[in-house]
């Protein structure tokens, strides 16, 4: 009998956001994979869970697939966690899930924390239809992507790092127009959580004079 792969969301900041089911599965799985074993180890220690962690990140996930599938075919259960949020959402996970499906191995994804959902709901922008784009290409294809996104009539969700935030806001204004409504959230669920709403120009002005720290989720209104 083959084992099962569990994708286990972990808190994006506030450790109270982990579910009771996630804690149970973390304790029960035979093998636990982590995007960063140091971060995963801190999480386990906080909840008093003793479990050996194996690294599974973007630099080794291609090579690790066969070994993980072997564990599963031997009947072992395998859990996967990322540094924060739900595995597979702008984090490793997709390749392993696809391989398990190909090998007819059961996959179970637990519901839980992810950054873009609270940012979207809190933005005040329409939530009925949206496009989650994640991180924009850093170089090749970036301007082409922005040009295409600017034409969509749905709310667009982007992830961005602190050191590229102002540049990305400039590019969004160039393609979407400075008056396009948007919302930028940072440090979600943490002590210094902040959401700034307004036009792209107003948001850019805010962050030119305020701290730029943490992980950012950008929600941009679609065309009317």
Tokens 């792209």 correspond to: 200
pLDDT digits (tens, 9 = 90+) for 150-185: 999 999 999 999 999 999 999 999 999 999 999 999
pLDDT recorded at residue 182: 98
What is the band of 224 on the pLDDT scale with cuts at 50, 70, 90?
confident
Give strand pairing partners of 160.
Answer: 216
pLDDT digits (tens, 9 = 90+) for 97-136: 999 999 999 999 999 999 999 999 999 999 999 999 999 9
What is the band of 211 on the pLDDT scale with cuts at 50, 70, 90?
confident
For residues 194, 196, 201, 206, the Cα torsion angle rounded to the nearest 10 degrees is: -50
Burial of 54 (0-12, 13-18, 19+ CB in 10 A): middle
Measured CA to CA, the distance from residue 149 to residue 176 in angstroms comes to: 8
The sign of the CA dihedral 174, 143, 156, 193 is negative
Percentage with pLDDT > 90 across the chain: 94
Q: Is 60 helix (H, G, I), strand (E, B) or coil?
A: coil
What is the band of 62 on the pLDDT scale with cuts at 50, 70, 90?
confident
Which tokens is 47 given? 């909840």
Check pLDDT > 90 for residue 51.
yes
What is the average per-residue pLDDT within 31-52?
96
Average pLDDT along the chain: 96
DSSP string computed for 118-146: HHHHHHTS--SSEEEEEEPPSSTTHHHHH
Tokens 């630099």 correspond to: 59
Residue-range domain boundaries for the chain:
4-109, 116-220
Higher pLDDT, 61 or 195: 195
Which one, of 146, 220, 145, lies nearest residue 179 by Cα? 220
CATH topology for 4-109 is Cobalt-precorrin-4 Transmethylase; domain 1 (3.40.1010)
**CB atoms closer than 10 angstroms to residue 30:** 15
Measured CA to CA, the distance from residue 153 to residue 94 in angstroms comes to: 28
pLDDT recorded at residue 21: 98
Considering only the C-alpha atoms of the chain, give the largest distance between any 2 of them, rounded to a whole number of Å: 59
What is the band of 59 on the pLDDT scale with cuts at 50, 70, 90?
confident
- Domain at 116-220: CATH code: 3.30.950.10
Which tokens is 195 given? 């959401």
pLDDT recorded at residue 64: 87
């Amino acid at each position: 009998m083959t084992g099962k792969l569990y994708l286990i969301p972990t808190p994006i900041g506030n450790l109270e956001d982990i579910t009771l089911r996630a804690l149970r599965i973390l304790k029960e799985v035979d093998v636990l994979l982590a995007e960063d074993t140091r971060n995963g180890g801190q999480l386990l220690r906080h909840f008093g869970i003793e479990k050996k962690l194996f690294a599974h990140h973007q630099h080794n996930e291609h090579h690790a697939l066969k070994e993980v599938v072997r564990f599963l075919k031997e009947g072992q259960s395998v859990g996967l966690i990322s540094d924060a949020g739900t595995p597979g959402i702008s984090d490793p996970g997709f390749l392993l899930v696809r391989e398990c499906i190909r090998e007819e191995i059961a996959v179970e994804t637990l519901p839980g924390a992810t950054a873009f959902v609270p940012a979207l709901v809190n933005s005040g922008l329409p939530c009925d239809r949206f496009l989650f784009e994640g991180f924009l290409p850093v170089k090749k294809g970036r301007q082409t992507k922005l040009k295409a996104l600017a034409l969509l009539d749905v709310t667009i969700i982007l992830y961005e790092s602190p050191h590229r935030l102002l540049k990305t806001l400039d590019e969004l204004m160039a393609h979407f127009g400075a008056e396009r409504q948007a919302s930028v959230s940072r440090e979600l669920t943490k002590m210094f959580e902040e959401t700034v709403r307004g036009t792209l120009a107003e948001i850019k002005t805010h962050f030119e004079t305020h701290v730029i720290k943490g992980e950012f989720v950008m929600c941009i209104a679609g065309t009317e």
